[in-house]
Amino acid sequence: MTAHLTWNLVSDVRQLLQFPFMVNALRAGTIVAIVAGAIGYFMVLRRESFAGHTLALIGFPGAAGATWLGVNESVGFFGFCVAGALVIAALPADRVREQSAVIGTVQSFALACGLLFVSLYHGFLSGLNDLLFGTIIGVSGTQVRTLLIAGAVVLVVLAVIARPLLFASVDADVARARGVRVRLVGAAFLVLLGIAAAGTSQVTGTLLVFALLVAPAATAVRLTANPYAGVALSIAIAVLVTWLGEGIAYFSPYPIGFWVTTFAFAFFLLASGYRALADRRLAC
């Protein structure tokens, strides 16, 4: 690749957009970032980030199994993640200490199954790293269309349940007393989270979904307490991180997973520093 980063940003962007694979990657990245930013905000609010992590890992055997059987990868991602979300929603929420051990066991078993499918499908070992850590070259036109449809469905459903979901997340007991069906709303949200995790893993890779799902939302929570501004900010940061990551990954020898996680982490650190300073000023 004869790509060189120059100080002329216009020519840089023109270089980026001359390849269809790059346009597809940017389209997919933008869709995924918008969905992940919005869903991630609620996930951080509800303290369900380990559920999100588990769902993303469950997507890996899904995608590997689909590749092995010759089915479309997206089918495996979405199918396994949504099924996993339904299972997690059905689990009772007691016995916390053992539950974390069970989640750990399930995560490792899911990854081991992914390894099994990969080794059954010979000659796929180089694809394994892409599956786990993301790539900018692999996104096809049909995949972008699937992501667009899934993303639109998630955002519409999220918009419909946003108010009761916010209520139930902030104060579950009062919400229940006011007639909100807390369990149902929670289960619906987990399914949305599953779809978002499946979509995000197709861009950042299974292991790095937190870069788009948690970090932008955590950054937004540290900057504003208003939920609507928070969701908007979270989406904006996720999109910015994705564009920066994909753009720089194109010009550098290092993979997208590194750049996206690094930018996301940098924003998070900056916001945490700002929060600490602001809190200190308030305390005086």
Partner 1 sequence: MLTQPFMQHALLAGTAVAVLSGIVGYFVVLRGQVFAGDALSHVAYTGALAALAAGVDLRLGLFVATVGVGAVLGLLGGRGVADDVVIGTTFAWVLGLGVFFLALFTTRHASGNSAASVTVLFGSIFGIGAGAAVTAAVVAVALVVLVLAMARPLLFASLDPAVAAARGVPVRLLGPVFLGIVGASAAEASQVVGALLLFGLLAAPAAAAQRLTDRPWPGLALSAGLATLAVWVGLSLAYAVPTLPPSFTILATATALYALSVPLSALGRGRTPRPCG
Instruction: Give yes or no for residue 108 binding partner 1 (CB under 8 A).
Output: yes
**Alpha-helix residue ranges (DSSP H) falling in 121-140:** 125-133
User: Which of 13-21, 118-126, 156-164, 169-177 is the region at the interface with partner 1 (rule: CB under 8 A)?
Assistant: 118-126
Q: Which is nearer to partner 1, 247 or 257 (CB)?
A: 257
Closest CA to 186 of 42, 84, 83, 79: 42
276, 270 in Cβ contact below 8 A?
no
According to DSSP, residue 179 is labeled T
Q: Which is nearer to partner 1, 147 or 215 (CB)?
A: 215
The residue from 35, 38, 111, 197 that contacts partner 1 (CB under 8 A) is: 111
Q: Which is nearer to partner 1, 23 or 87 (CB)?
A: 87
Closest CA to 190 of 35, 39, 38: 39
Burial of 232 (0-12, 13-18, 19+ CB in 10 A): middle
| Nearby residues of 65 by Cβ (< 8 Å), 6 or more positions away | 76, 80, 113, 114, 117
Q: Which is nearer to partner 1, 8 or 108 (CB)?
A: 108
Q: Give the 3-state secondary structure of residue 71.
A: coil
Q: Give the 3-state secondary structure of residue 27.
A: helix
- Alpha-carbon distance 104 to 273, whole Å? 32
The residue from 109, 137, 153, 171 that contacts partner 1 (CB under 8 A) is: 109
Q: How far is the CB of 8 from partner 1 (least distance, A)?
A: 26
Q: Which is nearer to partner 1, 23 or 116 (CB)?
A: 116
- Looking only at residues 228 through 267 of this chain, which bind partner 1 when binding is defined by CB under 8 A? 253-255, 257-262, 264-265
- Alpha-carbon distance 119 to 53, whole Å? 24
Instruction: Give yes or no for residue 44 binding partner 1 (CB under 8 A).
Output: yes
Instruction: Give yes or no for residue 281 binding partner 1 (CB under 8 A).
Output: no
Q: How far is the CB of 178 from partner 1 (least distance, A)?
A: 28
Query: Contact positions toward partner 1, by CB under 8 A?
Result: 44, 47, 49-50, 53, 96-98, 100-109, 111-113, 115-116, 119-120, 125-126, 128-129, 132-133, 207-211, 214-215, 218, 221, 253-255, 257-262, 264-265, 268
